[in-house]
Structure 1
Amino acid sequence: MTDQLQGLAGELADDYVHGRWRPEATEDHRARILSAQASTAGGLDGLAAGGVLTAASIEQMLRPHPELGSWRLAPVLRAYPDGSPEAQALVRDLLDAIAVTGFPLLPPRPLRYIEAPAPYDGSAPSVFLGGGITGCPDWQRRAVLQLDAIGSPAVALNPRRASFPLGQPDATREQTTWEYHHLRLADVILFWFCAEAVQPIALYELGAHAARGTRLAVGTHPGYPRRRDVLEQLRLARPEVSVHDSLHATVRAAAALLPATPTTRT
């Protein structure tokens, strides 16, 4: 069941981020209620961690409705109780994003999401999702959802491709060039270091952009093996940059650094 929830939630979150899916009216309404109940049930600690979904609130969400059989959230929520903590966190992020993205001042999600190798040539404030890809969970997807959940209009620049073309001779050069360009183009770079890998390229990029004076929001999982190095290097090079220990806090810090007006690209 753990793998089932991860697969169901991951597919649905991807479709949401790419604009391929939005819940229909009643499904959307119940998802908003479920998100609010999760935040209330979790208290302050639960809210900071993405809330708590109770069995009673899920049962209420799935109460009979003529269109319940077509709701894509339904199988996700049925699998939720037996899912891994990581998969459950993704579901809560998705619900929180749904609860906010109907806000009329936010552009549609597809207009606020750029995935490598697609170029970004807009003027809206942007956040580059810097950090590990290989050997790391898909934290970038959660960061995009969390930006929505706080009502941020930022364009997310995501270097993690849905499918990297390993057999393509120029794929690595194309990817590296895209990252190099968009790291310099972004208004803010969000660096998140997961616990599962050292991520030497991301460490190099953090050092380079700390030296450039780029707006940075930095966080590491408490179990990241080089967390102490990140703390000490930033203490010396950029003492004003805090190092957060949760993705939620890092996303909020990135959103707070965004300029209020459109950016002139050169």
Structure 2
Amino acid sequence: MRYIEPPQEFTPDAGPSLYLAGPSIGVPHWQSEAVALLAAAGFTGTVLSPRPTRPGADPFLAWAPFGWQDHNIRHTDCVLFWMPIGAQRIQDLYESHLFGRTAGTVVVGCDPDDPDQASTRNTLGAVLPWLPVESTLADTVTAALAQLSAGIATHTPPEPRARPHT
């Protein structure tokens, strides 16, 4: 498995790639758990994590406007959102078609015991009803691996609705 974090450059290759999206400051290091689950499953592709593991690294480096995250999230085959901060970013990615070879491949997991995540789950159910939402990080990783194995998105998002002029 190839692991990339800021400020490392990502150049897509023939193998699958997975971006770990979700909170990375002030929360447990769920990204390292996801990487361990991927390794245990035998994933041999590339994992991109915006959360640096090097001591002293700038934890905000990935979030610069038009920076590391914005560039790399567009070039991965699957984006795994764990405990997303609201549903808007997920919806924006779908509507902007910001994906590479498997346009639209997104996997989402929300902790059902977290009230904020329950709200995000409900919002996603309303705005992206075709998108399954997993309940554990392990299930979310498994769903991402299934998407990558299939090589295509299970659900094709509909065209964005035209917004009424007011």
One-letter code aligned to 2:26: G
The structural deviation recorded for 1:260 is 6.0
One-letter code aligned to 2:148: L
Query: Structure 1 residues 161, 203: closer, same or farther in 2, change over 3 A?
Result: farther
Unaligned residue ranges in structure 2 (runs of 5+)? 98-103, 152-166
The structural deviation recorded for 1:135 is 1.2
Structure 2 CA distance for aligned equivalents of residues 183 and 122 of structure 1: 11
In structure 2, the partner of 1:62 is none
1:138 corresponds to 2:26? no
Q: Deviations over 1:5-26 (max 9, x none)?
A: xxxxxxxxxxxxxxxxxxxxxx
Q: Give TM-score, length-normalised by structure 2.
A: 0.73
Q: Which has the higher helix share?
A: 1
Which stretch has the larger CA shift, 154-163 or 210-219?
210-219
Larger Rg: 1
In structure 2, the partner of 1:114 is 4
The structural deviation recorded for 1:241 is 1.6
Q: Give TM-score, length-normalised by structure 1.
A: 0.48
The structural deviation recorded for 1:127 is 0.6
Counterpart among 43, 50, 70 of residue 152 in structure 1 = 43
In structure 2, the partner of 1:183 is 73
Query: Could you tell me whether the CA contact under 8 Å between 1:210 and 1:238 is conserved in 2?
Result: no
Counterpart among 119, 124, 127 of residue 234 in structure 1 = 124
Counterpart among 89, 92, 113 of residue 205 in structure 1 = 89
The structural deviation recorded for 1:258 is 1.0
The structural deviation recorded for 1:181 is 1.0
The structural deviation recorded for 1:137 is 0.5
User: Alpha carbon RMSD of aligned pairs, Å?
Assistant: 2.5
Greater RCO, 1 or 2 (C-alpha within 8 Å, sep 6+): 2
Query: Structure 1 residues 236, 208: closer, same or farther in 2, change over 3 A?
Result: same
Identity in percent: 30
One-letter code aligned to 2:48: L
Query: Structure 1 residues 145, 203: closer, same or farther in 2, change over 3 A?
Result: same
Query: Could you tell me whether the CA contact under 8 Å between 1:187 and 1:259 is conserved in 2?
Result: no
Structure 1 CA distance for aligned equivalents of residues 132 and 63 of structure 2: 32
Counterpart among 94, 114, 129 of residue 20 in structure 2 = 129
Structure 2 CA distance for aligned equivalents of residues 210 and 232 of structure 1: 17
In structure 1, the partner of 2:139 is 249
